[in-house]
Amino acid sequence: MSRFGGLIFLSPPAYATFIVLNSKTDVKSYLLDVADGLPETERPSCCTHCKTNRRPHRHGQFKRWLSTLTERILLPVFRFLCPVCKRTMSVLPAFAEAYHEASIEVKQEVIIRAEEGMPVTILASETRHFAGGPYAEKTLRRWLRTWRQRLLRHQERLWERLLHDDLETELPRERISDIRALLVGWNNRLGSKSLFSTVLLLDRSHGMAESLIHPTAVGHSLSG
């Protein structure tokens, strides 16, 4: 993985490359920004494959379904073509994962409820109220496993981010997991910034860790 300006380049499956926008972490602002096409400032500056300095050309777009908690949205994803090696790449917003229809918002809600003690069997039934639901128990268990690993892997950096912002929130007195404590602290202090989008950005690029400790170090990378 490597980072160029406001973009994060993912090492691909061999058949596809996704470039992740880290400046937009919510659906509404993204859709407004791309109503007339992807802004020039968000355009990739070089090819993720051959690393030529020639800027990739716009190469159309495709639409994919994205399910939030309350609605299903046809999300535009913009493609670019390298003029040298002729490989293509697609720009993906930070609130969506490649090949996943459920948004980060949905997964965050599932993990929060599970950490509050809701059994997966009941949680699976509750997801029938989600726009993209219901989700199978097997799917929820996979999300829980994946996101708990991510949260634990990055919890030190995330707590440093909270402490940098002078966390004064009193955490619950009952015994709770490290993950739930992090969820409570983050929601009370930085509720406007999606914890899971931040974790996903950290997972996608080691370079994002520095911006968590020193938020001004990497421009607007965690805005939104």
Rounded CA-CA distance 27/21 in Å is: 12
If you average pLDDT over every residue of the chain, what do you get?
Answer: 75
What is the per-residue pLDDT for 206? 47
What is the per-residue pLDDT for 214? 41
Domain ranges of the chain: 2-93, 104-218
Q: Say if CB 52 and CB 84 are below 8 A apart.
A: yes
pLDDT tens digits for range 161-219: 777 665 555 554 544 567 777 777 777 665 545 788 778 777 766 433 343 334 433 33
CA atoms within 13 A on the CB side of 119: 2
Query: SS3 string of the chain?
Result: CEEECCEEECCCCCCCCEEEECCCCCHHHHHHHCCCCCCHHHCCCCCCCCCCCCCCEEEEEEEEEEECCCCEEEEEEEEEECCCCCCEEEEEECCCCCCCCECHHHHHHHHHHHHCCCCHHHHHHHHHHCCCCCCCHHHHHHHHHHHHHHHHHHHHHHHHHHHHCCCCCCCCCCCCCHHHHHHHHHHHHHCCCCHHHHHHHHHHCCCHHHHHHCHHHHCCCCCC
Least confident of 9-23, 70-84, 111-125: 9-23
pLDDT, mean of residues 7-35: 62
CA atoms within 13 A on the CB side of 114: 22
- Which residues, listed in sequence order, are joined to residue 8 by a DSSP beta bridge? 3, 20
What is the per-residue pLDDT for 130? 95
The pairing of beta strand 18-21 with beta strand 88-93 = parallel
What is the per-residue pLDDT for 181? 78
> What single letter denotes the amino acid at residue 16?
A
pTM over 0.75: no
pLDDT tens digits for range 128-147: 999 999 999 999 999 999 98
Residue for token pair 């500056």: 45
Q: Say if CB 176 and CB 114 are below 8 A apart.
A: no
Q: Is the predicted pLDDT of residue 57 greater than 80, yes or no?
A: yes
What is the per-residue pLDDT for 17? 66
Higher pLDDT, 155 or 65: 65
Q: Of 78, 99, 91, which is closest to residue 4 (Cα–Cα)? A: 91
Q: Is the predicted pLDDT of residue 15 greater than 70, yes or no?
A: no
